[in-house]
Amino acid sequence: MTPNKVLLMRHAEKSGDPMDPHLSDPGQVRAQLLADYIPTTFGTPDFVFAAALSKHSARSYETVVPLAKKIGVPIDATFADQDYAALATELLSKPEYSGKLVLICWHHGNIPSLARWLKANQGDYPNPWDPLIFNLILQLDYEGGGQAPQITRTTENF
């Protein structure tokens, strides 16, 4: 009852201002490019998740807005950044995600924990996630039900 594939990625670039919750100009460009890149490279996601909006960050949500608009899939931003365990549990247990392609855009500090909750084997994903890396997508392929996913790392070429 697992998704067929989960794409796990960090939000696009942020500004150097720690008080700025939004994407930088380069981040907005990356978000626009991802709207074409993701469907072309991985297929069209059935579900799109982003960390919930907060006063500290709207970046995960802003990163996937162009993609969601292009493919006509709503963004689920109901899980707070720290609620990665609840998100992973939902994805791995609810039948509506079974056999589907799910995209998750999150904050780099919690991506390793989210990957672990998605049953990824330690060492198959960056831990910690390099704070300077914005162009890496982890593809978690689930075959055989409850098994650990096979992980492929894809680096965006932009």
The set of residues, in sequence order, having a beta carbon less than 8 Å from that of 130 and lying 6+ positions away, is: 108
Which pLDDT score is estimated for 60?
Answer: 98
For the whole prediction, is pTM greater than 0.85? yes
Which pLDDT score is estimated for 1?
Answer: 77
Cα separation values, 69 from 24, 38, 64, 91, Å: 20, 13, 9, 22
Question: What confidence category does residue 145 fall into, taking pLDDT thresholds of 50, 70 and 90?
Answer: low
Give the CATH number of the domain where residue 62 resides: 3.40.50.1240
Give per-residue pLDDT as tens, 87-130. 999 999 999 999 999 999 999 999 999 999 999 999 999 999 99
| 2 secondary structure, DSSP code | -
Range of the domain at 134: 5-155
Total count of domains within the chain: 1
